[in-house]
Structure 1
Amino acid sequence: MLPPVVVLLTYPHFSPFHFSVPYMVFNSTLAGLPLFDLKIISSDAQSMMAERALTVIPDGGLELADTADIVVVPGWHDLSLPPSANLIMTLIRAHARGAHVVGLCYGAYVLAYAGLLDGKRASTHWMAEQDFCLRFPSVQLDMNALYVEEERLITSAGTGAGLDCCLYIVRKYYGAQIANKVARTMVIAPHREGGQAQYIEQPMPVSTKDAQINRLLDYLREHIAEQHTIDALAARTLMSRRTFTRHFYKATGMTVIDWLINERLRRSRELLETTTLSIDRIAECAGFQTPVSFRQHFKQRFQVSPRDWRRTFGQDATDSA
């Protein structure tokens, strides 16, 4: 049986990393035999220069996509620039005849510009969330997923998630055993737990425009391990409960409970990354009433367990990286 044909698009000023990820995965061999028939294409079959010091000579133009089983767009160089009409029609034709069309990282923009993602779930790099949603309101953006497939349209989150996505495609065509062998060859995990929520920076403002609330926030950070009631905090600010909750929400954009959970999760992440305290002890230090509550809130927010977070971001992980 002939291997599936993969065409990999190049475009002006493409990212060498985003190009190399699908190139390495789909150029893999086992026992000397290629898993895929990989071809590199560009819109006009001309050589393309990457961001710096790299030029790729394609195998041909967009016509090669007309017989491909998988079409891969590895990122995109200008999020405000729609792809050419020829490229859009190429992707639409490929999908219509049954091919998988893949947008890695910002490559999701190309699929969205082509209208292929309208009414469907998709993923892209978390840094583009606001821009993507404004440009393509009819796309159901999943900002936690490492990759998403719907109706043979596959999109991935940023950078490293492209590897997860390409290995997922290998599993689709060859099964988990072959995908695992490819992953071992590349010395990477065949499957990562969780989603990109664990990588998204979620800074909380240190202060607000309300000096009285600022003093309270400083107090809460210093006593985050303690339990606090709204009535007690209102009394501390010399306000009624109703006035306090209104002032707090106006200053922070959050309820008191939500703010405390966010701050406790921030503190717990810090302890997971910088100490060897047990999970139960970290739950206590961060102010969660029980270790079970801590684990539930952590898993809900970051889609991974506290133990897995420590394994990924803890000091031991940094030292061994």
Structure 2
Amino acid sequence: MTVTILFFQIALPLALLGWILLLPSGSATGLLLQTAGVAAFLFALARIAQWALPVWWLPWAYGALWLAIAVAVLALRPSIAGLPVWPTGLGWTSAVLGAALMATGGWFGAQALSGRSPPPVEVVEIGNPFARGQFLVASGGSHPIVNAHMRTLDNSVERFRPWRGQSYAVDFFGLGPWGLRARGWRPADPAAYAIFGAELRAPCSGVVVAAEGHWPDYEVPDQDMVNRLGNHVILRCGAADIVLAHMRQGSISVAPGDRVDIGNRLGEVGNSGASTEPHLHIHAQRPAPDGAPPISGEPLGLRIDGRILVRGDRINGADG
């Protein structure tokens, strides 16, 4: 995981930016393809990758660097109009590579943007589940490229059926000083993560149909693959169940049968269940049939504070 992140989120973007700066194409067509291709690829990478590691604002820094380099490269030439229109010899290499980057970035970037569309199911409107703090969407949206949960829509995979209700879930990381999600690259102590202990409130008015709070909070990256929800609360709000999972041991302040209003305290974010690091998992579903696994109901979409949240989006807690 670390090697993949270092390559795709640091080494590759810097290499592409260095390519424009140090080896600009000698033709107008080649230069335009080169700069546009890098821009398209960096845009797609910004929308697809999880930027909790190393930091959420790094794609913006790459965008600023791209703009500065593009201006600098053009400024070093008397006029782009003075360049030959078409590349010659090895100049075709950068032109073809630029075109390939533009096509790849355009294709994947368009798919990522399509994840902002409402999913093809009923969408449930809920409020902000966080009391305070700043949070980054790790997975969310209506396309698998930005929401890993959507793989459970595949009914042909038997092991996905007990989890089908979470197919349009949204996962959140916390953001601390300088936009960092944790004190360190991947510390073992869950308390080192900005989201650990964040207060959760009811995002809708309803009845508590399930609440468990005795499961332990694991060190990173350990997890419980059997009790996947870990400590959790399930609220029945109208015809939908809202599931909040991976909560902190001993923090849950409601019990089955309780009625809650929007804004009532539910507990805190933890690192219980099938969670490789502290985060909040929240999803909407139809109530599961009697005797069925609790998150096997038909999946529903979520609109939180009026937004379809997609990987890379940020929200602040309701108290600012």
Give the TM-score of the pair, scaled to structure 1: 0.25
Higher strand proportion: 2
Structure showing greater Rg = 1
The one of the two structures with greater contact order (alpha-carbon pairs below 8 A, sep at least 6) is 2
Higher helix proportion: 1
Give the TM-score of the pair, scaled to structure 2: 0.25
